[in-house]
C-alpha cells in the first residue's frame, strides 16, 4: 500500500527510480502505474494533501464522446479503469461513487445540426458505438426538462461522474509509491547523462527519471530543465448550488454547446459552470484563485435557455446556497495533452496540458509508465511533446473540445 506522509530527516527518501512532481489525480495515477511496473516511485506534492487544488475543482466527470482519435483512445481506456476500479487497485469493494447518468450535449442553433450528427458518426468510427444522435423532439421526449428550442443533441448513457477525491486516494492506496506532502520541488538537477536529481524543500532525491505532472505549474517545472512548454493555464469556475429540489436527480450532465454552459445534479443540489471564452491565460498560476461575484448569475442566465426550470431556481435562490470555487484548465496549441519523454532533457517526462485531466488520468498515467519502462516506444505515442516540432497536426476544434 502506498504511503502518504509529510517527511522528516529520518523518513525523507534520498533515492528513487522515478520522481513524480504533482499530486493531483494525473500525478497520483502516474505514480500508481509506475510503482505497479516495479519502479521505486516517489511523488512530491507542495500542498498538505493529495488532490486539493485543481482536481477537486473540476466538474468530476468523464465521457467517451470525443472526436479526436488520441483523446478518444485515452478516454475509453480510462473509463474501463473507473468501471473496474476496485480490481485495478486491488482493494475489494473500494467505492469511487461512480454515476453513469450520461453526458448530453444540446444546441438551439439549426446551423449546428450537421456538425452534431457528424460528431456522433465520428464517435462510432472511434469505437464509441453507444453514442446517440438525438433530434430536438427525441431529446425532449427523453429529457422533458429541455426547452422547446432544442434542435439536436448527442447523448451517451455510460458517460458520467465520480468522486475525484476517492479515485485519487484509491490510486495512492493501491500503489507501492511514497507520496511526500508539503514537499515542494525547487529544482531539477542534470549532469552529462541527463536528469540526476530533484531538489525539494526537504532535501535532494537522486533519480534518473522525473515526471512533470504539476498541472497549472507544469510550465514552471519545465523551466527547471530549460524548457518552454507550450502550456496556457486558464482559470475555470464552477458553482455548487445546495438545497435545490427542482433539479432532477437522475439527469445527465447537460451542456449547451452554443453558450458553453452546463450543469449536472450532485448530492444535495447541482453543479453549474460556464467555459468563459475571454478568460485570460494566467502567466503566474496561484494556489489562491478568486471567484467572480456574479458568476453564478451569469451561468444561470445562460442555462435558462436550454433548461427553463433554472429560472425558478434563480428567483428563489438564497445567498447561503451559492458555493463558488475555481481551478485551472491547462491548454496546449491543439487542446490535447503532452505525454512522454523530452529528448532535450534525458530522463524528463511530461504528463500535463489537461483541460480533461480527471477523465483521462488513468490511461495517461499508464502510458507514461509504459514509456518510462520501454513497453511503448516514443514514436508510437502520438501525444508526445515533440509533435509540434515534428510538424504533426492533431485534429481539434470540435464543439466538444475544451469542456
Distance between CA atoms of 131 and 82, rounded to whole angstroms?
A: 19
Query: Looking at residue 1, what is its pLDDT?
Result: 86
Q: What is the pLDDT of residue 399?
A: 62
- Digit-coded pLDDT (tens) for 199-235: 999 999 999 999 999 999 999 999 999 999 999 999 9
Residue-wise pLDDT for 133-142, tens only, equals 999 999 999 9
Q: For residue 403, what pLDDT is reported?
A: 60
Dihedral of alpha carbons 285, 51, 16, 338, sign: negative
Q: What is the pLDDT of residue 397?
A: 60
Tell me the three cell numbers of residue 272.
Answer: 453549474
pLDDT score of 398: 63
Closest C-alpha to 358, from 125, 122, 97, 75: 75
The low-confidence residues of the chain, meaning pLDDT below 70, are: 396-403
HEC readout, the chain: CCEEECCCCCCCCCECCEEEECCCHHHHHHHHHHHHCCCCEEEECCCCCCCCCCHHHCCCEECCCCCCHHHHHHHHHHHHHHHCHHHHHCCCCCCCCCECCCEEEEECCHHHHHHHHHHHHHHHHCCCCCCEEEEHHHHHHHCCCCCCCCCEEEEECCCEECCHHHHHHHHHHCCCCEEECCCCEEEEEEECCEEEEEEECCEEEECCCEEECCHHHHHHHHHCCCCCCCCEEEEEEEEEEECCCCCCCCCCEEEECCCCEEEEEECCEEEEEECCCCCCECCCCCCCCCCCCCHHHHHHHHHCCCCCHHHHHHHCCCHHHEEEEEEEEEECCCCCCEEEECCCCCCEEEEECCCCHHHHHHHHHHHHHHHHHCCCCHHHCCCCCCCCCCCCCCCCCCCCCCC
Q: Evaluate if pTM is beyond 0.95.
A: yes
pLDDT score at 394: 83
Amino acid at each position: 500500500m502506498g504511503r502518504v506522509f509529510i517527511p522528516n530527516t529520518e523518513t525523507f527518501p534520498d533515492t528513487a527510480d522515478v520522481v513524480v512532481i504533482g499530486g493531483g489525480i494525473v500525478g497520483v495515477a502516474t505514480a500508481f502505474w509506475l510503482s505497479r511496473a516495479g519502479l521505486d516511485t516517489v511523488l512530491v506534492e507542495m500542498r498538505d494533501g493529495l488532490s486539493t487544488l485543481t482536481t477537486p475543482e473540476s466538474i468530476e466527470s468523464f465521457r467517451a464522446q470525443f472526436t479526436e482519435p488520441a483523446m478518444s483512445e485515452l478516454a475509453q481506456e480510462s473509463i474501463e479503469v473507473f468501471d473496474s476500479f476496485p480490481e485495478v487497485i486491488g482493494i475489494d469493494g473500494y467505492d469511487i461513487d461512480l454515476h453513469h447518468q450520461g453526458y448530453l450535449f444540446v444546441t438551439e442553433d439549426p446551423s449546428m445540426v450537421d456538425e452534431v450528427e457528424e460528431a456522433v458518426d465520428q464517435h462510432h468510427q472511434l469505437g464509441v458505438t453507444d453514442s446517440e444522435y438525438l433530434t430536438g423532439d427525441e431529446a425532449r421526449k427523453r429529457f422533458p426538462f429541455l426547452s422547446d428550442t432544442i434542435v439536436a443533441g448527442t447523448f451517451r448513457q455510460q458517460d458520467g461522474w465520480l468522486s475525484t477525491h476517492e479515485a485519487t486516494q484509491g490510486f495512492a492506496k493501491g500503489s507501492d509509491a511514497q507520496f511526500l506532502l508539503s514537499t515542494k520541488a525547487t529544482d531539477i538537477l542534470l549532469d552529462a547523462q541527463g536528469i540526476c536529481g530533484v531538489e525539494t524543500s526537504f532535501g535532494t532525491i537522486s533519480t534518473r527519471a522525473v515526471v512533470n505532472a504539476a498541472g497549472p505549474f507544469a510550465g514552471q517545472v519545465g523551466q527547471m530543465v530549460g524548457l518552454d512548454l507550450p502550456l496556457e493555464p486558464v482559470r475555470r469556475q464552477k458553482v455548487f448550488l445546495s438545497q435545490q429540489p427542482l433539479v432532477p436527480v437522475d439527469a445527465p450532465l447537460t451542456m449547451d454547446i452554443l453558450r458553453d454552459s452546463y450543469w449536472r445534479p450532485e448530492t444535495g443540489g447541482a453543479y453549474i459552470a460556464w467555459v468563459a471564452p475571454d478568460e485570460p491565460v494566467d502567466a503566474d498560476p496561484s494556489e489562491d484563485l478568486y471567484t467572480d461575484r456574479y458568476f453564478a448569475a451569469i451561468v444561470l442566465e445562460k442555462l435558462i435557455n436550454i433548461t427553463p426550470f433554472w429560472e425558478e431556481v434563480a428567483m428563489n435562490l438564497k445567498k447561503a446556497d451559492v458555493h463558488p470555487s475555481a481551478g485551472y484548465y491547462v491548454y496546449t496549441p491543439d487542446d490535447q495533452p503532452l505525454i512522454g519523454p523530452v529528448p532535450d532533457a534525458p530522463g524528463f517526462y511530461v504528463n500535463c496540458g489537461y483541460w480533461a485531466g480527471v477523465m483521462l488520468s488513468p490511461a495517461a498515467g499508464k502510458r507514461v509508465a509504459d514509456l518510462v519502462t520501454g513497453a511503448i516506444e516514443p514514436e508510437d505515442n502520438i501525444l508526445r511533446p515533440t509533435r509540434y516540432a515534428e510538424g504533426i497536426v492533431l485534429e481539434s476544434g470540435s464543439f466538444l473540445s475544451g469542456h
